Amino acid sequence: MGFISAPVDLSSPAAIGSTTPNTGAFTTLSANNGTLTANSPAATFTQTWNNAAVDFRALQLNITSTARGGGSALIDARVGGSAAFQAGPNGNIFFSGGTIFTSTMLSVGIGPVDVSGSGSLGRFWISSTGVVGRTALGIHTSNGGGAFEVAAYSGGANIWEQRNSTNAQTFRLYNTYTDASNYERGFFRWSSNILELGAEAAGTGTQRQLRFPLGTVTASTPLSITQTWNSSGVTFT
C-alpha cells in the first residue's frame, strides 16, 4: 500500500497537466479551486499554434456511437435548463431561436430545434458547398439536410434566379391564407412549357381579378406583344 508523502491542499490544488511543450498539443491546464465569480469563465484554455505543418485542434471530440437515443447531442448548451445551442451527432447544428450574424453581414433566422433530426420542423439553410452550389439560398422542410425544395441563385448583378435543373418553378403571392384549402393567391409559373400569370382561390377564398395598371402613357404603346408566325400549317391567333 502506498502513502502520500506530501500534504495536499484540496481547497487550492496545484496545476495539473504536462508542463513540457509538445508542438501542436495542449500543454498546461490550470485547475480552479472551485470558486467562480459572476463574470469569470467556467473554463479557459490557452494554446499556442506555432507550426505550419500541423493541423491544430483547439477542442476535439471523438465519439464511438454504437447505439444512442434520438436526443443525443455532441454539444448541448442550455440557459435555465432550456436548450440554446445544440450540435447533433449527424453534424447538424440547431438553435432554439434568434439570429445568426456573420462578418459578411449575413443574417439568418433559425426556428425551433430538434437535435434528433427526425422531426418535421422546417429549416432555413444557406449552402456554401455541396447540394446546390456556392451562390444558392435554399429552403427545405426536412430536418436532416439534403436537396432544397426551393433554391434561389444570383444570376449576376441585380439578377435573382429561382431554378432547379429542368423542374418547372412556381411563385405564389397570397392575398389571404387560412390554411392549405382556404386561400386567395396570385401565381407566376411554368406549366406544360407555358408561362402563366393568374389568380386562383380555394375553399372560403374568392377568385380575384387580374389587372395590369400601366399608368399614364403619353409617348409609347401601353402594351406591346410580339409574336412570330412561322408555319403555313398553323392557324395563328
Closest C-alpha among 156, 161, 203 to residue 180: 203
Highest mean pLDDT among 17-21, 170-174, 218-222: 170-174
Q: How confident is the model at residue 187 (pLDDT cuts 50, 70, 90)?
A: very high
pLDDT score of 103 more than 50: no
Provide the pLDDT for residue 132: 37
22-38 mean pLDDT: 54
| Alpha carbon 181 to chain centroid, angstroms | 29
Dist. CA 68–CA 64, nearest whole Å = 10
| Mean pLDDT, the chain, whole residue set | 74
So what's the pLDDT on residue 153? Answer: 83
Is the pLDDT at 194 greater than 80, yes or no? yes
Residue 147 above 70 pLDDT? no
Distances in whole angstroms, Cα of residue 97 to Cα of each of 8, 83, 89, 141, 175: 46, 10, 20, 17, 28
Q: Is the pLDDT of residue 122 over 60?
A: no
Cell of 86: 445544440
pLDDT of amino acid 218: 73
Q: Over the stretch 204-233, which tens digit does the pLDDT of each residue have?
A: 999 999 988 877 777 777 778 889 999 999
pLDDT of 42 above 70: yes
Residues 122-140 have a mean pLDDT of 50
What pTM value is reported for the model? 0.49
Q: Which residue has the higher pLDDT, 226 or 100?
A: 226
Mean pLDDT, residues 56-78? 88
